Structure formats: structure tokens, C-alpha cells
Amino acid sequence: MATVKLAVIYYSSTGANYQMAQWAAEGAKAAGADVRLVKIKEIAPQEAIDANPAWKKHVEAAKDVPVASLDDLEWADSYIFSVPTRYGNVPSQVQQFFDTTGGLWFQGKLANKVVSAMTSAMNPHGGQEATIQGLYKTMFHWGAIVAAPGYTDPILYSAGGNPYGTSTTVDQEGNIKDNVKDAVIHQAKRTVTVAGWVKAGAQADK
């Protein structure tokens, strides 16, 4: 079967989604994928970053991670997104990135990508499912194929049992509070597996 090219695309202010993205990249590589780990560009004013020590620290820690580009979207067969919850919604940085994808969408280049998404929030019921649905809503418009985890492995129950995509709670500093690493790895492997099926089917159909 042809190797799946997977882009793990994240946005993070204080590091939680960077950590989840790293676990996803690890899981996808273990599943045989060719992986790019990229961050969505920071567009917040420098004063806002400087006013929050945890945010400032994370920006410095992730300074060498490449910034996500339209080329990453075109290159990959499959995407995993990981973004924080903002008032039950997708962060503006992520929405801004999505708003640059019109040209690719118009050319049909975002159709049939196999995708899944993850998030974090401060509260157990702080809007995690709404954020993931917000991400998937854009991807439905792309014509992407959502490979949500559902309840496809018992590991999901001990990670909070979110069938939309792995989610966790975090503290003020962005430390992950739940036991989600194995669920992230399972989600990444599942996304790669489904992407492999779709890629093989598309190639067989040519």
C-alpha cells in the first residue's frame, strides 16, 4: 500500500496542543506515515503574548517548528488538527489560516483528505465537542472525510470517551490533566489507516 502523507497541524498558546500534536506525529509515524508536524502562525499582538508568561514561554519553546502552509495542505493525504477551545470555538489564528484556503478549495485540492481533530479546554465541559465540530464544519466544506475515533478502542474510555476526537482538560499553564496520550496515538493510527484505505481505493480506481 502507498505510504500515507500526513500533516499534523496545530495551534497552541501555552503548549498543550503542541504536546498532543507531538503524540499524534509519533503515533502516525509508528503507523508508517510520512509526517509533517507544523504550527499555525501566531497572529496575536506581541503585548498579549508578553503579558502571559506561559504563552511567552511556549512561543519560545516552539520557535523552530515550521509554520503551516498551503503547500502542507496540498502535499498531505490526511490531516490531524489540534487546537485549544476558545469560548467553545476554534481560535481566530486557526480560522485565519482556514480563510487562506479558498484557492485550494476552488481547485478541488482539499477534497477527499482524511481528517480528524483534537482539542483542549480548561473545564471538563468547556466546549471541547463544539470546538472539534467547528473544525469539522470547515472540513465538510472542503469535501474531507472525517475519521473520528468513535469508540473504536477501549483506551478511549479512560481518556474521557470523546468520540468526536481526543480532548483533554488543562491547567492555567497549559499542562495536560487527563490521561490522553494513548488515545491520541490510537486516533493518529486510525486516521493513517483510513487514509491508507482511501488512497489505495483511489489509486485502484484510476
Ligand X SMILES: Cc1cc2nc3c(=O)[nH]c(=O)nc-3n(C[C@H](O)[C@H](O)[C@H](O)COP(=O)(O)O)c2cc1C
Q: Is 121 in the site for ligand X (CB under 6 A)?
A: yes
Q: Is 165 in the site for ligand X (CB under 6 A)?
A: no
Query: Reduced to 3 states, what is the DSSP secondary structure of residue 179?
Result: coil
Residue from 4, 8, 17, 114 in contact with ligand X (CB under 6 A):
17
Classify residue 74 by burial, with Cβ atoms within 10 Å: 0-12, 13-18, 19+: middle
Q: Is 50 in the site for ligand X (CB under 6 A)?
A: no
How many chain residues touch ligand X (CB under 6 A)?
Answer: 19
Q: Is 65 in the site for ligand X (CB under 6 A)?
A: no
Take residue 185 and report the three cell numbers written for it: 496515538
Residue from 149, 165, 174, 196 in contact with ligand X (CB under 6 A):
174
Helix axes 181-204, 16-30, angle to 10 degrees: 50
Q: Is 177 in the site for ligand X (CB under 6 A)?
A: no
What length is written for the chain?
206
Residue from 78, 85, 93, 191 in contact with ligand X (CB under 6 A):
85
> Which is closer to ligand X, CB of 51 or CB of 202?
51
Q: How far apart are CA 39 and CA 10, in angstroms?
A: 5
Q: Determine the interface stretch with ligand X among 14-22, 138-146, 153-161, 183-191 (rule: CB under 6 A).
A: 14-22
Q: State in Å, rounded, how far the first CA of the chain is from the last one.
A: 15
Q: CB of 165 within 8 A of CB of 17?
A: no
Q: List contacts with ligand X (CB under 6 A).
A: 12-17, 84-88, 120-123, 126-127, 170, 174
